[in-house]
A and B are shown apart, each in its own frame.
Chain A
Amino acid sequence: MSDITIYIKDRKGKKHSVQAPTDMAMNLMEICKAYELPVEGTCGGMAMCASCQCYILSKHELPEMSIDEDLMLAETFYVKENSRLGCQIPITENLNELYIELAPEV
């Protein structure tokens, strides 16, 4: 298993290129935290706080949205068509070169 590259645009518009391991059961929220990007991950990854909301900018195929994620997104703000919760997206090899943007803080 190898690392993949993820591009993350922070809230100031700066683009970061980070390496994410695919064999540590990590998700996008955790990758942001590991690189000390300003993602709180308040609930720890239970799709219960939306502090890891991000916009998917590339055309990667992502895992289907669970009902929990969908309903959490229905209750947070600044939601767009391409909104996802980073904590619900596991890092897998097919996400190489995924490009995301952090949603505004709520």
Chain B
Amino acid sequence: MIHTDILIIGAGPTGLFTVFEAGLLKLKTHLIDALPQPGGQCAEIYPKKPIYDIPGFPEILAGDLIKNLLKQIESFEPGFTLGERAETLERLEDDTFIVTTNKGTKHHAPVVVIAGGLGSFEPRKPPIANLQKYEDNGVAYIIRDPEVYRNKKVVIAGGGDSALDWSIFLADVASEVTLVHRRNEFRGALDSVEKVQELKNQGKINLITPAEITDLHGENELSGVTVQKKGEEPAFLEVDHFIPLFGLSPKLGPLGDWGLEIEKNAIKVDNSYDYQTNIPGVYAIGDVNTYKGKLKLILSGFHEAAVMCQSAYQRINPGKKYVMKYTTVSGVEGFDGSKKEAKRETVQTIY
């Protein structure tokens, strides 16, 4: 069991900055995120895109903002549970919480803050009628162990980086790799596209474009797919595995079943006093919350993190006095023993 003061669900910019604000109040933090790396949308969807409304940064790439935030919070030594989705919330008799992930990792904290943005990122599933039947029986959306595909016939669908990269990788593992994409053009990185072209020329990747998989076949396990190439008759392709790689899309997911008040796909916090939800001790900040006047901006998330941490401090340390301090005055004392502070003025007498 992982114990912490503030358990943060979502490691996007708001979740990361919460570590800093909590750290100033000497509160320890731990983050859970469904993605394998911190940064949320900024890292997953648009790391190379510029953001122009982060105060003090006329222009910053989303990926660089995340790098900076990670550097800013480093000395507060946050814990991370990455690649796992927060699944259940259990409230204990002493008003503390246990959050369990889809992989069974348990986290215990007196305060839970949901900074989950638009939700956890889930694979986008193509609308093929019997797709679900073959999930884990030949159909997978994420490649966890490439060895599963050794000497097997694999068909990959999609036109982005992951479809290209996995086709390249599996070309040396599987007995047969077929890449199916609805266009002749690919969205992925140029060198990956060139590599696939090279492997196709060598006969190591079977490329079918413009085409899509329209049907799946097999008694219990997948044994074949129907490939519909534009302008041609549908064809049967014998395969052991079908891996649709169409990117990720955020879904509120299990959070929706936690007994939180939900409004328009966001968690309702009734005020901007402390961003607490209808469950005392559970807060929601950043894009995931909604209240009158809400603006879904990174800078709003930062503000909400600061306000929320003050309230969490009171909850964790009832009656203990504290006043907010300026980092310029008090510096930043890390949990790793480091201390950053403004240079003291030196006074020297002139004789």
Contact = CB atoms under 8 A, between A and B. Distances in A.
Interface of A: 36, 40, 42-43, 46, 48-49, 51, 67, 70-72, 74-79, 106
B185 A106 contact: no
B46 A43 contact: yes
A76 B160 CA distance: 11
Given A49-B249, A77-B126, A106-B249, A71 B187 contact: yes
A40 B181 CA distance: 25
A67 B124 CA distance: 21
Contacts of B185: 67, 70-71, 74
B182 A43 contact: no
Contacts of B160: 75
Contacts of A36: 264
Interface of B: 41, 45-46, 49, 118, 124, 126-127, 158-160, 181-183, 185-187, 246-247, 249-250, 264-265
Contact of B158 (A49, A70, A75): A75
Given A75-B158, A106-B124, A42 B183 contact: no
A74 B159 contact: yes
**9 smallest beta-carbon distances between A and B, as pairs:** A71-B187, A74-B183, A74-B182, A77-B127, A75-B159, A75-B246, A74-B159, A106-B124, A43-B45
B62 to A, nearest CB: 10
Contacts of B158: 75
Contacts of B124: 76-77, 106
Contacts of B127: 77-78
A46 B49 contact: yes
Chain B interface main SS type: loop
B171 to A, nearest CB: 21
Contacts of B46: 43, 46, 48
Contacts, number: 52
Contacts of A71: 159, 183, 185-187
Given A42-B118, A78-B127, A106-B124, A48 B45 contact: yes
A40 B186 CA distance: 25
A46 to B, nearest CB: 6
16 contacts: A36-B264, A42-B41, A42-B45, A42-B249, A43-B46, A46-B45, A48-B45, A48-B46, A71-B159, A71-B183, A74-B181, A74-B185, A75-B247, A78-B127, A106-B124, A106-B249
A72 B158 CA distance: 11
Given A36-B264, A106-B124, A106-B249, 19 more contacts: A42-B45, A42-B250, A43-B41, A46-B45, A46-B46, A46-B49, A67-B185, A70-B183, A71-B159, A71-B185, A71-B186, A74-B159, A74-B181, A74-B182, A74-B187, A75-B159, A75-B187, A75-B247, A77-B126
A36 B41 CA distance: 23
A78 B264 CA distance: 24
Contacts of B246: 75-77
A76 B182 CA distance: 10
A40 B118 contact: yes
A66 to B, nearest CB: 12
B7 to A, nearest CB: 25
B233 to A, nearest CB: 21
A43 B249 CA distance: 10
A79 B264 CA distance: 26
